[in-house]
Amino acid sequence: MTISPLTKPQKLIPLLFEGLTWREFKVIEQLLDRPGYRLSFLAGVLEIRQMPGEAHETVKERIGALLELYLLIVGFDFTPTGSMTLESETEQVKREADKSYKLAPGRSLPDLAIEVVLTSGGINKLEAYQRLKITEVWFWEDGVLEVYHLRGEGDRLAYEKIKNSEIVPGLDLALLLRCTNMINHVEAMRTFQQEMQVAPESSTQP
Protein backbone atom coordinates (compact mmCIF):
# COMPACT_ATOMS: atom_id res chain seq x y z
CA MET A 1 0.00 0.00 0.00
CA THR A 2 1.32 3.44 -0.91
CA ILE A 3 1.11 6.00 1.86
CA SER A 4 0.82 9.66 0.88
CA PRO A 5 2.38 12.09 3.36
CA LEU A 6 0.54 15.03 4.82
CA THR A 7 0.79 18.19 2.75
CA LYS A 8 3.42 20.67 3.91
CA PRO A 9 1.77 24.07 4.43
CA GLN A 10 3.53 27.39 3.90
CA LYS A 11 5.43 28.48 7.00
CA LEU A 12 4.40 31.63 8.87
CA ILE A 13 6.83 34.14 10.36
CA PRO A 14 6.06 35.28 13.94
CA LEU A 15 6.39 38.87 15.12
CA LEU A 16 9.30 39.62 17.48
CA PHE A 17 9.66 42.58 19.88
CA GLU A 18 12.93 42.97 21.79
CA GLY A 19 13.99 44.78 24.94
CA LEU A 20 10.93 44.13 27.10
CA THR A 21 10.91 43.59 30.84
CA TRP A 22 8.88 40.76 32.37
CA ARG A 23 6.41 43.29 33.74
CA GLU A 24 5.95 44.88 30.32
CA PHE A 25 5.43 41.44 28.79
CA LYS A 26 2.70 40.58 31.31
CA VAL A 27 0.89 43.86 30.54
CA ILE A 28 1.02 43.17 26.79
CA GLU A 29 -0.10 39.59 27.42
CA GLN A 30 -3.25 40.85 29.13
CA LEU A 31 -3.93 43.36 26.35
CA LEU A 32 -3.59 40.66 23.68
CA ASP A 33 -5.58 38.03 25.56
CA ARG A 34 -7.88 37.28 22.65
CA PRO A 35 -8.49 34.34 20.29
CA GLY A 36 -6.18 33.91 17.34
CA TYR A 37 -2.78 34.66 18.89
CA ARG A 38 -0.21 32.87 21.06
CA LEU A 39 2.50 34.73 22.98
CA SER A 40 5.90 33.47 24.09
CA PHE A 41 8.68 35.26 25.97
CA LEU A 42 12.40 34.62 26.34
CA ALA A 43 15.01 36.88 27.91
CA GLY A 44 13.39 40.18 26.91
CA VAL A 45 12.04 39.03 23.53
CA LEU A 46 8.30 38.78 22.93
CA GLU A 47 7.10 36.44 20.18
CA ILE A 48 3.57 36.76 18.79
CA ARG A 49 2.34 33.89 16.65
CA GLN A 50 -0.91 33.55 14.79
CA MET A 51 -2.83 30.54 16.01
CA PRO A 52 -2.18 27.52 13.79
CA GLY A 53 -4.54 26.18 11.18
CA GLU A 54 -5.84 22.74 10.28
CA ALA A 55 -2.53 21.28 9.08
CA HIS A 56 -0.82 22.08 12.37
CA GLU A 57 -3.69 20.77 14.47
CA THR A 58 -3.90 17.56 12.43
CA VAL A 59 -0.24 16.74 13.01
CA LYS A 60 -0.39 17.73 16.68
CA GLU A 61 -3.42 15.58 17.41
CA ARG A 62 -2.03 12.66 15.41
CA ILE A 63 1.22 12.59 17.37
CA GLY A 64 -0.72 12.84 20.61
CA ALA A 65 -3.11 10.04 19.69
CA LEU A 66 -0.30 7.68 18.68
CA LEU A 67 1.78 8.46 21.74
CA GLU A 68 -1.14 8.05 24.12
CA LEU A 69 -2.02 4.70 22.56
CA TYR A 70 1.53 3.51 23.21
CA LEU A 71 1.62 4.88 26.77
CA LEU A 72 -1.70 3.22 27.57
CA ILE A 73 -0.66 -0.18 26.23
CA VAL A 74 2.77 -0.06 27.87
CA GLY A 75 1.32 0.93 31.23
CA PHE A 76 2.46 4.49 31.92
CA ASP A 77 0.52 6.39 34.58
CA PHE A 78 0.52 9.48 32.39
CA THR A 79 -1.38 12.76 32.31
CA PRO A 80 -1.85 14.79 29.12
CA THR A 81 -1.28 18.45 29.95
CA GLY A 82 -1.93 19.85 26.47
CA SER A 83 -0.79 23.42 25.86
CA MET A 84 -0.53 24.32 29.54
CA THR A 85 1.29 27.59 30.20
CA LEU A 86 4.90 27.08 31.27
CA GLU A 87 6.49 30.20 32.67
CA SER A 88 9.10 31.47 35.11
CA GLU A 89 9.71 35.10 36.00
CA THR A 90 13.08 34.15 37.47
CA GLU A 91 14.17 32.54 34.21
CA GLN A 92 12.43 35.21 32.09
CA VAL A 93 10.54 32.69 30.00
CA LYS A 94 6.99 31.78 28.99
CA ARG A 95 6.09 29.04 26.53
CA GLU A 96 3.12 26.88 25.59
CA ALA A 97 3.91 23.57 23.94
CA ASP A 98 1.57 22.13 21.33
CA LYS A 99 1.34 18.96 23.42
CA SER A 100 2.83 18.10 26.81
CA TYR A 101 2.74 15.12 29.15
CA LYS A 102 3.46 14.20 32.73
CA LEU A 103 4.66 10.61 32.57
CA ALA A 104 4.30 9.69 36.24
CA PRO A 105 2.22 10.88 39.22
CA GLY A 106 3.35 13.82 41.34
CA ARG A 107 5.08 15.84 38.64
CA SER A 108 4.91 19.63 38.96
CA LEU A 109 5.93 20.15 35.32
CA PRO A 110 5.52 18.06 32.17
CA ASP A 111 8.28 15.56 31.41
CA LEU A 112 7.71 15.89 27.67
CA ALA A 113 6.92 18.84 25.40
CA ILE A 114 6.01 18.39 21.73
CA GLU A 115 6.24 21.15 19.13
CA VAL A 116 4.82 21.06 15.61
CA VAL A 117 6.90 23.65 13.78
CA LEU A 118 5.08 25.45 11.00
CA THR A 119 6.75 28.82 11.56
CA SER A 120 10.08 30.23 10.43
CA GLY A 121 12.24 32.11 12.91
CA GLY A 122 11.11 33.16 16.37
CA ILE A 123 12.64 32.73 19.81
CA ASN A 124 15.00 29.85 20.58
CA LYS A 125 12.54 27.16 21.61
CA LEU A 126 15.16 24.82 23.07
CA GLU A 127 16.57 27.58 25.25
CA ALA A 128 13.06 28.33 26.48
CA TYR A 129 12.49 24.70 27.45
CA GLN A 130 15.96 24.47 28.96
CA ARG A 131 15.16 27.38 31.29
CA LEU A 132 11.92 25.60 32.20
CA LYS A 133 13.84 22.34 32.81
CA ILE A 134 11.62 20.18 30.61
CA THR A 135 13.28 16.77 30.41
CA GLU A 136 12.58 15.96 26.77
CA VAL A 137 11.38 17.95 23.77
CA TRP A 138 10.18 16.62 20.39
CA PHE A 139 10.05 18.74 17.25
CA TRP A 140 8.05 17.70 14.18
CA GLU A 141 9.01 19.80 11.16
CA ASP A 142 8.60 19.11 7.44
CA GLY A 143 7.75 15.46 8.08
CA VAL A 144 10.81 14.87 10.30
CA LEU A 145 10.83 14.21 14.05
CA GLU A 146 13.77 15.35 16.19
CA VAL A 147 14.19 14.43 19.86
CA TYR A 148 16.21 16.37 22.46
CA HIS A 149 16.99 15.20 26.00
CA LEU A 150 18.12 17.51 28.81
CA ARG A 151 21.52 16.68 30.32
CA GLY A 152 23.45 18.06 33.28
CA GLU A 153 22.57 19.49 36.67
CA GLY A 154 21.98 22.89 38.22
CA ASP A 155 23.15 25.71 35.99
CA ARG A 156 24.96 23.36 33.61
CA LEU A 157 22.03 22.12 31.58
CA ALA A 158 21.98 21.50 27.83
CA TYR A 159 19.93 19.51 25.37
CA GLU A 160 21.42 16.61 23.47
CA LYS A 161 19.88 15.42 20.22
CA ILE A 162 19.15 11.70 20.48
CA LYS A 163 17.78 9.00 18.18
CA ASN A 164 15.32 7.39 20.59
CA SER A 165 13.27 8.78 23.43
CA GLU A 166 14.74 8.09 26.87
CA ILE A 167 11.61 8.95 28.83
CA VAL A 168 9.37 6.80 26.63
CA PRO A 169 11.61 3.72 26.26
CA GLY A 170 10.82 1.20 23.57
CA LEU A 171 8.80 3.60 21.43
CA ASP A 172 9.52 3.09 17.73
CA LEU A 173 9.91 6.69 16.60
CA ALA A 174 10.31 5.69 12.95
CA LEU A 175 6.93 3.96 13.08
CA LEU A 176 5.35 6.86 14.96
CA LEU A 177 6.67 9.30 12.37
CA ARG A 178 5.51 7.19 9.44
CA CYS A 179 2.02 6.98 10.92
CA THR A 180 2.02 10.69 11.76
CA ASN A 181 2.68 11.53 8.12
CA MET A 182 -0.13 9.36 6.76
CA ILE A 183 -3.21 11.15 5.44
CA ASN A 184 -5.96 8.99 6.94
CA HIS A 185 -6.14 9.15 10.73
CA VAL A 186 -7.91 5.84 11.30
CA GLU A 187 -5.52 4.01 8.97
CA ALA A 188 -2.58 5.59 10.78
CA MET A 189 -3.86 4.44 14.17
CA ARG A 190 -4.53 0.92 12.91
CA THR A 191 -1.10 0.68 11.30
CA PHE A 192 0.62 1.89 14.45
CA GLN A 193 -1.25 -0.54 16.67
CA GLN A 194 -0.65 -3.49 14.34
CA GLU A 195 3.08 -2.85 13.91
CA MET A 196 3.86 -1.61 17.42
CA GLN A 197 6.15 -3.85 19.42
CA VAL A 198 6.32 -3.45 23.18
CA ALA A 199 9.55 -4.48 24.87
CA PRO A 200 9.19 -5.88 28.42
CA GLU A 201 11.45 -3.20 29.91
CA SER A 202 9.56 -0.36 28.21
CA SER A 203 6.86 -0.36 30.89
CA THR A 204 9.28 1.16 33.42
CA GLN A 205 8.20 4.64 34.51
CA PRO A 206 10.75 7.45 33.97
Per-residue pLDDT tens over the stretch 116-162: 998 777 899 999 999 999 999 999 998 999 999 999 887 788 999 99
Type of residue at 146: E
Spell out the alpha helix ranges (H) of the chain.
22-31, 54-74, 125-132, 173-180, 185-195
Domains of the chain: residue spans and CATH: 15-198 (3.90.1570.10)
Kind of pairing between the strands at 112-116 and 136-141: parallel
By percentage, how much of the chain surpasses pLDDT 70?
A: 91
Residue 206 — pLDDT band, cuts 50, 70, 90? low
pTM of the model: 0.87
Type of residue at 20: L
Non-local (6+) Cβ contacts of 24 within 8 A are none
The mean pLDDT of 86-113, rounded to a whole number, is 95
Residue 198 — pLDDT band, cuts 50, 70, 90? low
- As to burial, measured by CB atoms within 10 angstroms (0-12 exposed, 13-18 middle, 19+ buried), residue 51 is exposed
CA–CA distance, 90 with 94 (Å, rounded to integer):
11
Q: How far is CA 89 from CA 31, 46, 137, in A?
A: 19, 14, 21
Query: pLDDT averaged over the chain?
Result: 89
Query: Are 18 and 45 a contacting pair, CB within 8 Å?
Result: yes
Q: Is the pLDDT of residue 203 over 50?
A: no
Give the torsion sign (CA, 201, 203, 205, 206).
positive
CA–CA distance, 96 with 85 (Å, rounded to integer):
5
